[in-house]
Amino acid sequence: MNDASNLIETKLGGSTAVKQWIVSPTGDLTYEPRAYTITADRLNEEDWFLHMMTKGWCDMSEFVPTYFKALQNADVQTVLIRSHY
């Protein structure tokens, strides 16, 4: 069983890191190696999981806990997740 809590928490000046993903205190989410950013105001779009699964470089075991941390930081309490197109 993979314990996601082991991935989270490298504090960097108020930001949180999950491997190579960085979550700002306001909820912006950035994948450092590619400078790929999801801004906090877009976190509630329903297709992030499907979209990120198409990225060959995205490890979903890192993205998922980071995404939920970003939702928490942005105070987004409810989000719809699309299961397929």
Give the pLDDT confidence of 2-17 residue by residue, as tens digits. Answer: 455 555 566 667 888 8
* pLDDT tens track for 25-69: 999 999 998 999 999 999 999 899 999 999 999 999 999 999 999
More confident residue, 1 or 34: 34
Q: For strand 29-31 and strand 36-38, is the pairing parallel, antiparallel, or unpaired?
A: antiparallel
Q: What is the pLDDT of residue 19?
A: 85
Contacts of 35 (CB under 8 A, 6+ apart): none
Give the chain's domain count: 1
16: number of Cβ within 10 Å: 20
Residue 84 lies in a domain: no
pTM for the complete prediction? 0.83
Residue 64 lies in a domain: yes
User: What's the CA angle centered on 51, arms 47 and 52, to 5 degrees?
Assistant: 120
**Alpha-carbon distances of 75 from 10, 34, 41, 70, rounded to whole Å:** 20, 26, 11, 8
Residue 62 lies in a domain: yes
Residue 81 lies in a domain: no
Q: Which residue segment(s) compose the domain that 29 sits in?
A: 4-73
Minimal CA–CA distance to 73: which of 16, 12, 6, 5? 16
